[in-house]
Copies of this chain bind each other. A is one copy, B any other.
Amino acid sequence: MIGKTLNEIKIGDQAEFAKTISEFDIYMFAGITGDFNPVHINEDYAKQTFFKTRIAHGIMTAGFISTLLGTQLPGPGSIYIKQDLKFLAPVKIGDTITARVEVVEILDKKIWVRLKTTCFNQDDTQVLDGEAIISPPRAPKK
């Protein structure tokens, strides 16, 4: 249960995770965080907004980035340093979101890795853009 160490990571390495967003996801996310902004949990209100229907919390989509970093690339043992997020388009119930992370820089001195982090919906519309800085797991001592 150890992810990739700095030596095992190359620029261009990628990983993907996808999930169809359900009402359950949005309601549970509201329930955990307390973000009961009506645009997420009030269809009557939401249909009068620019979005026309309830939308997912932007930070929930960012959670799929965390899934990739913590379980695939680099994986277990990573320490999350920094995450920048730009919310580009709304995510609606029934959308299938594909999150991607791609290694873009290896910061040898700091033992950090920089990754491009993006999310797209089923129509290939980008909904999230950003960058993560991760400290990958160290090799276990021998």
Contacts and interface: CB of A to CB of B under 8 A. Distances in A.
Number of copies: 4
Size category of the binding interface on chain A: 35 or more
B87 A84 contact: no
Residue picked from A25, A33, A85, most chain B C-beta under 10 Å: A33
A37 interface: yes
A49 B31 contact: no
A74 B81 CA distance: 27
A43 B59 CA distance: 22
B20 A42 contact: yes
Given A63-B33, A87-B80, A41 B24 contact: no
A44 B24 contact: no
B34 A64 contact: yes
Contacts of A41: 19-20, 34
Interface of A: 1, 16-20, 22-25, 27-45, 49-50, 54, 57-60, 62-67, 70-71, 75-87, 94, 96, 122
